[in-house]
Amino acid sequence: MRVLFLTHRLPYAPNRGDRLRAFHILRSLSSRFEVELVSLVHDEEELAQVPRVRELGLEVTAIEVPRLRNLAAGATQLAGKRPLTHILLDAPTLPRVINDIVRRRPPDVVLAFCSGMARFALEPPLSNFPLVVDLVDVDSQKWQALSQSSSWPMRWVYQREAQHLVEFEAQIAANASALFVVNEREQALMQTVLPGSNVSVAETGIDIEPHLPRTSPANRPRVVFCGVMNYVPNIDGVRWFARDVWPRVRARRPDAEFVIVGASPTAAVRRLHSAEHGIHVTGTVDDVRPYLWQSALSIAPLFMARGVQTKVLEAVAAGLPALVTTAVFEGLPKEIRPACRVADSPQAYAELTLEVLEIAPEERRRIAQSADLAPLGWDAQLRPLHDALVAASRRRHAVAV
C-alpha cells in the first residue's frame, strides 16, 4: 500500500510536539507501508535535515515556503474569508510536485498532518484519492482560546482565524475517510464544534526506553521546564512561574534552581535568565534528557494547553514527578496522571514545588514510576491510524473493482 504523507513541517529533528508526532507516524508507517513524504520547510536549517529523514528509506520532497511573500499576502487578505493558516503555508511549487507524484507514483491513500495540509488533499488531483487526516488538535479552538487572552487587534485576528477554520474543519469532516485527534478531550471538543463529526483518537505516544533514567535520582533542588521557547503558551507559562511562583519558592529554598530548556527563546524568555535568582535559560541543546535526569521536578505551568503535552510524558519517563496545571492534566493519558501533581494558583504551585523538593530523591523516582508507561509506546498508540489507512485504501479498491 502506498501512502502519501503531507506535513507542514519537516518531521525532523523530533524536538517539538508536532514534529515528534509526525516523525513517529512516519517511522511507524514506513515499517509497514510504502510511504512518500511531501513536507513544507521554513528555513535552511530545516532543509538541511532532509537527508536524515531519507535515512528511513522513503521518498522525501521538501517544499520551501516563501515566508515574507506569505506574510505580505496575509496582511492584504485579512478582509477575505481564507484562513491565515492557509495563506502562511502557501507554497507555489507544491501543486506541480503533487501532480508529478500522482502521475508517476499514485498513492492508495493520502494522510494529511494537521488541517493546514488537508486543504492540499481536498484539491485536485489528490481529491481523487481517499484521505485520512490527523488533525492533532482542533485548530479553530486553539485560535479561539488565544483570542480570549489577547487584546485588540490580535483578538480580532484570532477570532477571524477561528471562525474561518471552523468552516474549513467542517469541509474536512465531510470529505475525509477518517479523522483523528490526540485525546478524548479534543475528540469531545470537535464533536461540540461540529456535532455528528466522526472523529477518532490516536493518542500521542512516547519512545520509552531512551528516556529511562541512566543514573540515580538527582539530589539537587532543580526544577526544569522543557519546550520550544518561541511558542506563546510556553512563554506565558514560564514567565508566570518565574514571576509569580519562583520568588515564593526561593524565599524558602534559596538553593533551588529553575532551568528553562528549549530552542528559540524569545527576548522575553532570555530576560528571565538570572544567576542571582537561580534561573537559567539554556537555548537550544543537543539533548534534553541529561537536564531531566539531573533535576528533581518537571513543571508544565501552561494555562492554554491543547492536545497532549509531550514534555510531561518525557519527564515522567525520565524519572521525574511533574507539576502541571489543570489544563495540562486534563489532556494527559490516564496512565501518566499518578505521577503528576496539579495546581493553578501561584501559592498552590509554590507549595507543591517546595513539597516535592523536600521529598527524598528515591521517593520522587517512585512517584514517577507509579505511571504505567507500557501502553504508551508509539506503535500501540498509532494502531488506529494504521487501521484507518488500510480501510480507506481497501474501500477505494473495492469501488474500483
Mean pLDDT by 10 residues, the chain (401 residues): 97 89 96 97 95 94 95 92 94 96 97 96 96 96 89 93 96 96 95 93 94 94 96 95 98 98 96 98 95 98 90 97 97 96 98 98 98 94 97 78 45
- Cα angle at 381 between 376 and 384, to 5 degrees? 160
Same-domain status, 48 and 122: yes
* Interior/surface letters 110-131, b for 16+ CB within 10 angstroms, e for the rest: bbbbbbbbbbbbbeeebeebbb
Same-domain status, 193 and 221: no
Scan for cell 474501500, then name that residue: 395
Range of the domain at 244: 208-375
Same-domain status, 301 and 386: no
**Domain count across the chain:** 2
pLDDT for residue 17: 86
Q: What is the CATH number of the domain that holds 278?
A: 3.40.50.2000
Separation of alpha carbons 305 and 325, rounded Å: 9
Same-domain status, 222 and 200: no
The pTM is what? 0.90
pLDDT for residue 94: 96
Same-domain status, 159 and 52: yes
Tell which phi-psi region holds residue 88, choosing left (phi > 0), alpha (psi between -120 and 50) or beta. Answer: alpha
CB neighbour list of residue 89: distance below 8 Å, 6 or more residues apart:
8, 40, 65, 70, 116, 117
Same-domain status, 385 and 283: no
pLDDT for residue 400: 57
pLDDT for residue 89: 95
Same-domain status, 371 and 385: no
Separation of alpha carbons 195 and 357, rounded Å: 45
Helix axes 310-317, 17-30, angle to 10 degrees: 70
pLDDT for residue 399: 59
Separation of alpha carbons 17 and 125, rounded Å: 30
Same-domain status, 13 and 118: yes
Same-domain status, 53 and 183: yes
Judge contact between 308 and 183, C-beta under 8 A. yes
Same-domain status, 371 and 382: no
